[in-house]
Structure 1
Amino acid sequence: MDYRSVSLLLFFLGLALTSPVENSKASLMYPYGIDQGDTKNSKSDDGTSPEITIPVPFTFYGKKYYSLYVNNNGVVSFGVNVSQYTPDPFPLDGGTPFVAPYWADVNNVIGGDVLWRQTQDQAMLSRCTADINLNFPEIPFTATWTLIATWDHVAYFGSVSNKVNTFQAVLITNGELSFIMLNYDEIQWTTGTASGGKSKTGLGGTPAQAGFDSGDKINYYNIPGSRTPDILKIAETTNVRRPGQWMFQVDEYVVGVTTEESDCLE
């Protein structure tokens, strides 16, 4: 075999070895877009969706919620919308319960879209059920409702670069048991300029916060790296053995120990 043949063989072997890794991250994202029936939030800095009434209650640490908001700055909130753009550390003082796939100063006026849909489509619920059963095999569960919120190629406030982020929050419930799935496709910036970041890089200042906060100062979770420069690498991290994906059961009320601490003890 000559040198050229060996080089070609190594090239194609390289493709075979790397392609599954590259494709696996993209496959974590649930389907989204207008063609999937999504609604787009308005192009508005620090904007939000209208109040979204849901037909199946989402139980979040002992409380049932029947409506929520998808906020442009990387937050799904219950009860009230969230326009704050510089993230605070969890647990929060304000008591607003919310899920933060990537709480930072998004500006979809500059670039990108914030999309969402709630669905009881059987094919999508089957995928949700399979994902929960895979990662929580000890819990009998069949999904009856899901919300898929996606921040697609969104820019940061003050950006003069082409850097964008794509990430997703998926809320899943059967009316009693509730789960959160956070999916990360591509993360290129951490901070808007109003939070101290640099306009050309989207880095510095107060970086993004990821995780969730129940509003009771007891049950919350900070994804490692939150509000530090390491949050830029969130798409390489996981708690379910799939880099770029984090999953949590969030219906149970835990007394006397934070969710963050209990996760560390497992």
Structure 2
Amino acid sequence: MKFKKLALVAAFAVLASSAMAAAVHDAALFTGNTLARNDDSSTGLVNMGFAAPANFFGTTYSNLYVNNNGNVTFTTPLSTYTPFGLTTNAFPIIAPFFADVDTRPLASGVTQYAASTLGGHNVFGVNWLNVGYYSNQTDKLNSFQLILTERADTGAGNFDIEFNYDQIQWETGSASGGVNGFGGTPAAAGYTDGGANDFEFAGSRTTLAFLDSNPTGLIHGSRNSNTLGQYIFNVRNGIIAPPDGNNVPEPATLALTGLALAGMAALRRRKNVK
């Protein structure tokens, strides 16, 4: 009985940890504008609402394009649906989840965005909440968010990039070789200035790597945050400090997983003893 209780408690702890991986926040601030239900569309140029242009690796921007396929760009809209390597891209992009998002079905959420204020700072945010994948699929839904925060308090042009993930159930649209949302060329995440400065999350374009069901999933890691599923990149004087620790489960998550496995193994052994 003691072993059984241990296994049940450990398994419950793992489930609870996963359920609490909710990084998306203040989503209501970013619902002022909606990109109509679509596949592969983009907005026109949208002002970020910053007091001073954002300095992104030496080039400053006041406006951007919101693209349905999980990213924003600064110099051109992007309708591409199969993710490419961000480290070889020739134009600036910030991509929390670059993949073939399809919001045409009514069962899918829509892409929403707005400029606002949060914590005394100007912010621009994009919500991709409960969005489906190509073609017209909603059996699996993803929820993620991008927030750009002006940090004029640390210097003109400084800002933070924040990726937030609540749920990642699919990784690929069928036009990118996916079957039922998996395989083919999966999602990529990261950023580039279109030149020599870039970063791509470990697991980008790797089958199953970003999914909630995988220990390397986006909801299980963090950067510059104690919140699982939240990755913050501080842009100061146009430069981002080298990222580390991405897509790695927090030690607590690993410990709980190990405890659950140990408990379940003990329970199986207990049952096998007559």
Q: Distance in 1 between matches of 2:199 and 2:222?
A: 13
Give the counterpart of 2:103 among 103, 108, 113: 108
CA distance in 1, matches of 2:194, 2:36: 27
Provide closer, same or farther for how the CA distance between residues 62 and 202 of structure 1 changes in structure 2, counting only shifts above 3 A: same
- Give the counterpart of 1:125 among 104, 119, 125: 119
- TM-score, L = length of structure 1: 0.75
Kindly provide the CA deviation profile for residues 32-73 of structure 1, in whole angstroms up to 9, marking residues without a partner as x.
24x865211111110112310234212111111010011100
- Cross-structure match for 1:239: 223
Once the two structures are superposed, residues 209-230 of structure 1 have per-residue CA deviations (whole angstroms, 9 ceiling, x without a partner) of 00111111x2111111010021
Partner of 2:71: 75
- Equivalent residue for 1:149? 126
> Residue 174 of structure 2 contacts residue 181 of structure 2 at CA under 8 Å; is this kept in 1?
yes
Q: CA separation in 1, counterparts of 2:223 and 2:71?
A: 20
CA contact (8 A) 1:61 1:251 kept: no
Taking the aligned partners of 2:27 and 2:11, their CA distance within structure 1 comes to 27
2:159, 2:76 → 1: CA distance? 20
The 3 A distance-change label for structure 1 pair 62 and 188 is same
Say whether the 8 Å CA contact 1:47–1:72 is kept in structure 2: yes
Shift in Å, 1:251: 4.2
8 Å CA contact retained: 2:55, 2:238: no
Q: What corresponds to 2:204 in structure 1?
A: 226
Residue matched to 1:31: 26
Q: Which runs of 5+ in 1 are unaligned?
A: 127-143
C-alpha displacement of 1:125: 2.8
Find out whether 1:40 has 2:34 as its counterpart: yes
Amino acid at match of 1:119: S
C-alpha contact 1:159 1:192 (8 A) present in aligned 2:
no
* Unpaired segments ≥5 residues, structure 2: 212-216, 246-274
Match of 2:177 among 196, 205, 212: 196
